[in-house]
Amino acid sequence: MSVTIPRACVMGHPVAHSRSPMVHGHWLKTLGLPGTYELADVPEAEFPRFLTSLRARGYAGGNITVPHKEAAFRTVDRRDDAAEAIGAVNTVWYEDDQLVGGNSDAYGFIAHLAASLPAWDESTRRCVVLGAGGAARAIAFALVARGVDVAVVNRTFARARDVAMHFARASAHAWDELPGLLARADLLVNATSLGMTGKPALAIDLAPLRRDAIVYEIVYVPLETALLRDARSRGHRTVDGLGMLLHQAVPGFARWFGVTPTVTPELRALIEADIRAKSGSV
Ligand code: NAP
């Protein structure tokens, strides 16, 4: 009797830097499950054909990363509600013969917030999201669905307006409105790429923010950004980006390999060590 070992992959270009094989490989090993999770470096021109032949290539599904998330959105047979609202697909799996596309960033954002601060939603009514890219859109979707008003603040105002138009309870704002918005916020999220290694720092004054407001940084390289340091030193509760990355991997793993994995301190330590090693700080 032949036994099929489930296979999944992360599709991107370039993709060698992806930490997804490390995350899924850790879960396969610690759960003692048969399966593999591979890197698939797929150039843009070849991506639609690669995705539509995923099952024929022996894959149960996979993750999609830069630059293919929008192409995956257009190519799948069907999309889940999150992907539909966010406009990008980062996880695919099969249901019957259909290739389904989902977006797990919204799930990852909330799951990590709830794991870090279980009572977060008791006091969170108003949020400021900095940024209007794919990550900001996922976060706006997640928060609006939980009844939170979201003020989207972005350098390019037209992109903030585009996000706000898609979600009830979301509004668009220019950067110079920030002090007034911060004074009323229960939660501040950095969903720009500012603060990331190689990018300029996020230079904002947290002084108007109430001390009981939560500060959530989704950048995870470096692990501790200037925003997190500043927020901690002012006494804010903080949530970092690495946990979001780990939690967003959970739904895909459960679909391909049939077991819902857990984000453990051991997994976190493994990925932290890799980030530190590659940043040259270890
Ligand atoms: P994206 O679509 O490229 O959006 C980038 C955002 O950053 C835009 O709003 C852009 O503003 C803003 N930005 C970039 N440079 C800026 C500058 N010099 N001044 C002001 N604003 C600037 O990227 P994304 O996919 O949304 O990702 C954003 C960040 O989140 C990245 O660092 C990514 O690694 C991180 N992320 C983390 C997770 C996680 O799981 N922790 C998940 C997804 C993303 P404009 O519109 O004006 O260009």
The pLDDT of residue 279: 80
Strand partners, 216: 189, 239
- 69 annotated active-site: yes
Q: What digits encode the pLDDT tens for the residues 251-262?
A: 999 999 999 999
pTM: 0.96
The DSSP result for 180-200, as a single string, is HHHHT-SEEEE-SSTTSTTS-
> What integer pLDDT is reported at residue 3 of this predicted model?
65
Please give the distance, rounded to the nearest whole angstrom, from the Cα atom of residue 120 to the centre of ligand 1.
24
Q: Is 63 within 8 Å of 252 (Cβ atoms)? A: yes
Q: Which of 29, 69, 199, 278 is catalytic?
A: 69
Q: In the predicted model, what is the mean pLDDT of the chain?
A: 96
pLDDT digits (tens, 9 = 90+) for 74-107: 999 999 999 999 999 999 999 999 999 999 999 9
Residue 1 has pLDDT above 60, yes or no: no
pLDDT digits (tens, 9 = 90+) for 127-168: 999 999 999 999 999 999 999 999 999 999 999 999 999 999
Q: Which residue has a Cα nearest atom 32 of ligand 1?
A: 193
- The amino acid occupying position 236 is H
pLDDT score, position 262: 98
Cα 8 to ligand 1 centre (Å): 27
Sequence letter at residue 4? T
**What is the C-alpha to C-alpha distance for residues 95 and 117, in angstroms, rounded to an integer?**
34
User: Is the separation of the CB atoms in 257 and 5 below 8 Å?
Assistant: no
pLDDT score of 282: 39
* Protein residue whose Cα sits closest to atom 27 of ligand 1: 135
219 and 244 in contact (C-beta within 8 Å)?
no
User: Domains of the chain by range and CATH?
Assistant: 7-104+249-278 (3.40.50.10860), 107-243 (3.40.50.720)
Question: Would you say 25 and 10 are in contact if contact means Cβ atoms under 8 Å apart?
Answer: no
pLDDT value for 280: 60
State pLDDT tens for residues 20-72: 999 999 999 999 999 999 999 999 999 999 999 999 999 999 999 999 999 99
**For residue 183, what are its two tokens?**
């004074």
pLDDT attached to residue 278? 87
Give residue 195 CA to ligand 1 midpoint distance, Å: 10
Whose Cα sits closest to atom 6 in ligand 1? Answer: 192
Confidence of residue 240 (pLDDT cuts 50, 70, 90): very high
